[in-house]
Structures are given as C-alpha cells and as structure tokens.
Homo-oligomer: A and B are copies of this chain.
C-alpha cells in the first residue's frame, strides 16, 4: 500500500513515523514544500527572544532520521498543487521547478495553517514578516541580526502576537501592537483581559486597539503604518493577525469543508473521500462541550490527529473524542489559559451561560511570594453543566487549567466539579483551590 502525505510538519510527520513503525509493509511518501520537517514551531518566539541561540535548535528530528531510520520517502521542496481523486494522484512542482505526480492508495492532507495577511496596501512589501514556519522564524532572526532594528510594529494581538511582543522586548526593541477591533483578547472575560493589558503596559508595549491600518508605507529601511488618526513608524513589521487553514487543495478536489474553511473530518480523521484523511491545523474537530464542529489549530491536536490518521491507515482506527479548546500562553510574567467555551461561544451554541470571576491568592494564607490568580468559570444555567474556564496569573495557571479540561471531557456539572479533590500545600495555593472557590461562587449564581 502507498500512503502519501502532503505536509511534513507535526501532523504529517507524526503520521509518517507511526505508520512506518506499525506497518513497515506500507510505503510512506511525504511531500513537504519547505526544506524543514519536525521542529518546535511554538518554540520560535522564545528562540527569537535570545539572539545567542540558533533557530536550528528547534529542530527535533533531522530529515535523515525519517529517511534512514524510519524508511520514509521524504521529499523536501515539493509543493503539492492538485489532487486528482479519480486517478488517485497528487500533482505538484519540486524545488527545481520540475513538475511531478505521485500516486496514492491513501492520502493524508496535513497542510497546516498559514498566517492570514490582511488586505492592506503595502503589506506585501519585502521585509514585512510573519511567523508560522521555520523559514519565517529564520528570516526574522536574520533580520534582527543583520540590521539595527529599534522599533517593531506588530499587527494583531493574539497568542503569537503577544508572545512575539515579549520576544522583541527581550531583544531590546520598542514594540507597538495594533489591531482594528477595540478589545484585547475578545474571547476573554473583560476583567481578565484587563490584567493582560496591564501586563503589556507594565512592560512598555504600546497598545493601539481599535486602530485600523489603511496603508503601509516604506521609507528607506523602515515602515510607516498609517491609521486614520496616527502614523506608527517601525524598522520591522510583523503580521500576526491569526492563521487560516491551508485547505485550498482539498476544496479544489471537492472535499467537504468545516468551520473557517478547514477540512471536515470524522472522529477517525477521514474526509468526505474514504481514501483521503486530513489531520493537523488544516482539519476540523468536534468540540467536547458543544458537540459541534470547530476549528482549533493547536499543537496537541495536530500531533494527536496525525497519530489517529496513521492508526486509520494502519487498519486500527481510533475515535478521537474531540477538543476542549484548551490553550495556554505566557506574556511577560503572566500565564494566560483557557479551556472550553467562552461566554459568547456558549451562547451561540444554545447554552444559557453564567460566568463568575474570582480572585484568589496563588499561595496559602501568609505564605511569602503569593500573587493573584483570576479565574473566570462558566456554566449552563439550564443544565448546571460546566462549560469552560479562563485564568490569568503569575504562577499556577498553566497546569491548573487542565483540571477543568478533564472535567469538560467527562461532561461534569458545575456542582460535581466543585467537589473535586484538588491538591493543597501552602507553596502552591490556598486550601480551597482558586478553581473550587470559583465553582462555589458560580454555584450561588446559577
């Protein structure tokens, strides 16, 4: 059997390795359009923060490992351009401009997601940066190393934008962030979002929210982002306004699409064509809370769905329960985490959501070094079901969110979750964990 994979990042290479380990009789070919496979994409902002570290440290496995140890036919610089479902082959162009085609019995589309570049005149200027793949990470590091960059403007204020703001401040740059909508992290409870805002201000990041850029002008080696009421100048311009699924190939091949233009898959990663699977940031998923299709391009799901696709191809299909939308990021000294639905999402899904914010100390009464954790918990007034959580704090946030993620997976009610037997010791929290305090407070409001 010939298993062809388009895309050599997290999902694609997870699938390739797993099929070769489980079924050495299956031929596995991977078409990767860049020159890189198997690297920690999420680690790029932290690597960029440190001018001394080489970005190549992020490579987890060299291409040679996949080729020589696992026997994967890995073709770098190979861009897939069309899927012929009738003939069961993929056509494309290699790095030398030569056309190729490549047949398959089973095909995995693992093309990932790409930065969304807004339609702003001048944004296609050379030197305007984005950050999704290692090539782009390399370009940013080279840019910073090769010229005197004093000031950066970041378009967007999502996870990557915030991580890059921290990274560029660590490199000594002045940083301004700009976005058209007035709200920072619009999915977040406003009290928690304002804590993030304060952290950015405390680290001297300029925030221009509610500020639409009309044009990018180039002036010498620098840029001017022109808004209606202000002009932001910069030596470096980074576009981090979110990502979009790379689903064009799938769409042109007539496969069904899911939310946000992602590729619709079932719980075993099968698309609407029984011989074509999709996994990773290009594919959709079922939400554990709403049961609805959703698109959550995050690393764990990408890896997990790649493995599940491999299992399906190897003849041992698994059913993935879905995603809770659990995510965490760090911005300066603040940990920010979420899982489940936001208040707006819950209302859109037909729930009657009630939320409550509490503040609690990160350590026990009188324990030194304590800071404040804010928890926003939400539940459905009609059924009592726990729907989601958001948290912000200087410590104890990143892993604490996982207790809620598991509760959502189990379909727990708020009242059940309020009875969770969570760990306590003075250096790590109060006797009543902040999550339990939030649950007890919210119970009163239901």
Please list the residues of chain A having a beta carbon within 8 angstroms of any beta carbon in chain B. Answer: 10, 40, 42-43, 46-47, 50, 57-58, 60, 288, 298-301, 303-304, 320-330, 335, 337, 339, 364-368, 396, 398-407, 409-410, 412, 416-417, 419-429, 431-433, 435-436
Contacts and interface: CB of A to CB of B under 8 A. Distances in A.
B423 A405 contact: yes
A38 to B, nearest CB: 10
A422 B403 CA distance: 9
A424 B367 contact: no
Given A60-B365, A428-B328, A339 B300 contact: no
Contacts of A425: 42, 327-330, 398
A374 to B, nearest CB: 16
A421 B325 contact: yes
A26 B46 CA distance: 59
Contacts of A436: 300
10 contacts: A46-B426, A50-B368, A323-B421, A324-B421, A327-B425, A401-B423, A402-B422, A403-B405, A405-B422, A409-B421
Contacts of A60: 365
Contact of A400 (B42, B402, B419): B402
A300 B288 CA distance: 29
Contact of A399 (B40, B321, B419, B428): B428
A5 to B, nearest CB: 19
Contacts of A368: 46, 50
Nearest to A406: B406
B366 A43 contact: yes
Given A399-B400, A428-B328, A320 B42 contact: no
A409 B416 CA distance: 9
Contacts of A432: 300, 303
Most buried by B among A367, A422, A433: A422
Contacts of A406: 403-404, 406-407, 410, 412, 417, 420
A293 to B, nearest CB: 16
A363 to B, nearest CB: 9
Contacts of A328: 423-425, 428
Contact of A366 (B40, B288, B329): B40
A377 to B, nearest CB: 14
Most buried by B among A42, A401, A424, A429: A424
Contacts of A398: 396, 399, 423, 425, 427-429
Nearest to A440: B307
Contact of A419 (B58, B321, B367, B420): B321
B410 A423 contact: no
B423 A402 contact: yes
Given A47-B366, A399-B428, A403-B403, A419 B423 contact: no
A52 to B, nearest CB: 11
B399 A409 contact: no
A417 B406 CA distance: 8
A43 B429 CA distance: 11
Contacts of A322: 421
Given A300-B431, A328-B424, 11 more contacts: A40-B364, A42-B431, A46-B426, A304-B419, A321-B416, A326-B423, A327-B424, A335-B428, A337-B423, A399-B402, A406-B420
A403 B324 CA distance: 14
Contacts of A330: 425, 427-428
A117 to B, nearest CB: 24
A232 to B, nearest CB: 28
Ranked nearest first, the 7 interchain pairs of A and B with the lowest CB-CB distance are A410-B410, A398-B428, A402-B403, A328-B423, A399-B399, A324-B421, A406-B406
A436 B402 CA distance: 12
Contacts of A433: 300, 402
Most buried by B among A339, A365, A404: A365
Contacts of A47: 366
A409 B400 contact: no
B364 A431 contact: no
